[in-house]
Amino acid sequence: MKLRNNRFISFLTAATASLIGGGEISSSSKPSFTGSSLFADAKKKVPELTSTALRLHKIYNQQPPHDRQLYDILQVLPNATQVQITKSYRALSRKYHPDKRKRQSQHGANKSSNRNDYDAEQLQLQQLQQAYQILKVDSTRIFYHKYGLTDPNLAVLLLLGPKLHPNVWRQQLGQSQMAHLQDSSSCSCSSSSSLLFETLDIDLMRLIGYDEDILRHDDNDESPTLLEERRVQNIAALLVEQMRPIVEGTIDDLAVYGHMIAQRCDRWKRLPLGAQIIRCVGRAYRHVGQDFLRQNERRLSGNKGRSIQHITTDATVGLRKRWHSTKHILEAGAAGVKLMVKEHFWNNKTPRQQPSKQQDHAEAIEYHNTDDEEDDSFLPFGMNDEHLQSLEEIEESRKRQQEDAAQTTILQALQVEALWKACKIDIDRVVRRACQMILSGDYFFFPSYTAVADPAFVVNRRTVGQGSLLDHGWVATPSGNTVTIDAEQARLTAAQTMVMFGDILVKQSKQGTSWKD
């Protein structure tokens, strides 16, 4: 009888622990001593968290969120438990439910005021439901918490869509643009109906070379080389126009212009993978600008006695470039290896668990068959060994389901991480090429350059005689007035501006994210 009692006591202990860990007992529920009611209540019991689920929940405490929008909608902290999220959602949904507002209007409330607030409350209730659907389970919450994603497939569409599924990518981006225009033209801009995490933003896409021209491009057979060239030209043209006021000296307060760039970053980093993208782009800006400034400093200090220092500087720059590219490759490889090891371990762990569980089940059956003389006085009324065995099977099944769900979520998170590490190599290479194109002086720093970002125009510049490309001057014609600036000074100012932009992007990407300053 000792073994049987211990089994039932362990079951009661698990039920008590689940209630202490966050379960609630409503005032309407009353204790029952019948075995059938106890059996029914046990089906609703929340199982204890497995080790994998606990490890998954530590992420919410250890890493700050990518974005707080959904947490703010539900009025909970980013490290809130599932019980706290559900409790807050139920309280807020009751507050904004249409039936409650209808009852308030019937009790003499201002009907015109209720009519005016009805749309806003319906919108708020809809956002509550959307936020709860994402945060109530780890399979969607973890991606929003770490990357601002609601679906791992959105990461594939965002990073690989123009290459793998261009039609789907253009359609999704076009829908996001229309929603953004509708929200911008609406009067209630503060309560936008489209949440940031649901959209692909064209401004963020421009940072990595995808713009409206690619969106309207109908050639699905475009080679990867041509697509990369178009991206390099788009990034260079966009960056030149952003740097133009600083290079021309038309900015009165540089701090105000930098603050404007920082405000853009605050919005970009809240988008799906936004913080990761602007950090990668900012580091590319900063590294290319710093390398150009070092080379320019070496060129200006032409003392023969410093030749050894110049050689050391060139070697340092070369090693930094190689180490930077090698580091990205190693990080991508490490993420891929980690993913493969986890998948291999989990695939081998599941078959090993089955014989052990079957053996435990067989030993339990053998024990009950040889223990016929034991009485059932300890069990509740109406409950026998079969009920207890069924309860244990339900508990074990729930634990297995929880373990499988948590492990699947962890594997999907590793897949997104490995995908980003691999795509970061491509983004870094393209942005660096664009920055080097600008600072080379062969494309943008010549008298006939205008603000028209025509890829064909930029490419054809390579075929023009070298004499015209070596002419000094940056011609600014935004308002029809010609302003000529020395090309060398313009390139130097452009490099300094790249470093400034890079510092702003990297700094803003780290604020409120899991990266450390």
| Digit-coded pLDDT (tens) for 263-284 | 999 888 888 888 999 999 999 9
Q: Are 415 and 30 in contact (CB under 8 A)?
A: no
Q: Are 487 and 441 in contact (CB under 8 A)?
A: yes
Query: CA 96 to CA 126: how far, in whole Å?
Result: 10
How far, in Å, are 97, 119, 269 from residue 146 at the CA level?
A: 31, 32, 12
How far, in Å, are 328, 429, 514 from residue 334 at the CA level?
A: 10, 20, 19
Query: CA 337 to CA 341: how far, in whole Å?
Result: 6
484 SS3 class: strand
Residue-wise pLDDT for 188-202, tens only, equals 333 343 444 455 677
Residue 95 has pLDDT above 60, yes or no: yes
Q: Hey, what are 44's tokens? A: 């609703």
Q: Are 223 and 229 in contact (CB under 8 A)?
A: no
Cα 194 vs. chain centroid, distance in angstroms? 17
pTM: 0.67
How far, in Å, are 274, 461, 471 from residue 239 at the CA level?
A: 18, 18, 22
Total Cβ atoms within 10 A of residue 109: 13
Phi and psi (nearest 5°) for 233? -65, -40
Residue-wise pLDDT for 318-346, tens only, equals 566 666 666 666 666 666 666 677 666 66
How far, in Å, are 130, 133, 212, 247, 408 from residue 198 at the CA level?
A: 11, 13, 19, 37, 23
Q: Are 413 and 146 in contact (CB under 8 A)?
A: yes
Mean pLDDT throughout 366-373? 49
What pLDDT, on the 0 to 100 scale, is given for residue 37?
46
Query: CA 214 to CA 261: how far, in whole Å?
Result: 25
Query: CA 13 to CA 91: how far, in whole Å?
Result: 30
Q: Give me the helices (H) in 380-444, please.
A: 385-440
What pLDDT, on the 0 to 100 scale, is given for residue 459?
37
Residue-wise pLDDT for 214-236, tens only, equals 655 555 556 778 888 888 988 99
190 SS3 class: helix
Q: Hey, what are 499's tokens? A: 């470093």
Query: CA 91 to CA 365: how far, in whole Å?
Result: 46
Residue-wise pLDDT for 459-470, tens only, equals 333 333 333 333
Sort 514 into a burial class: Cβ within 10 Å, 0-12 / 13-18 / 19+. middle
What pLDDT, on the 0 to 100 scale, is given for residue 19?
45
What number of CA atoms fall less than 13 Å from residue 125's CA on the CB side? 16
Phi and psi (nearest 5°) for 42? -65, -30
Cα 139 vs. chain centroid, distance in angstroms? 14
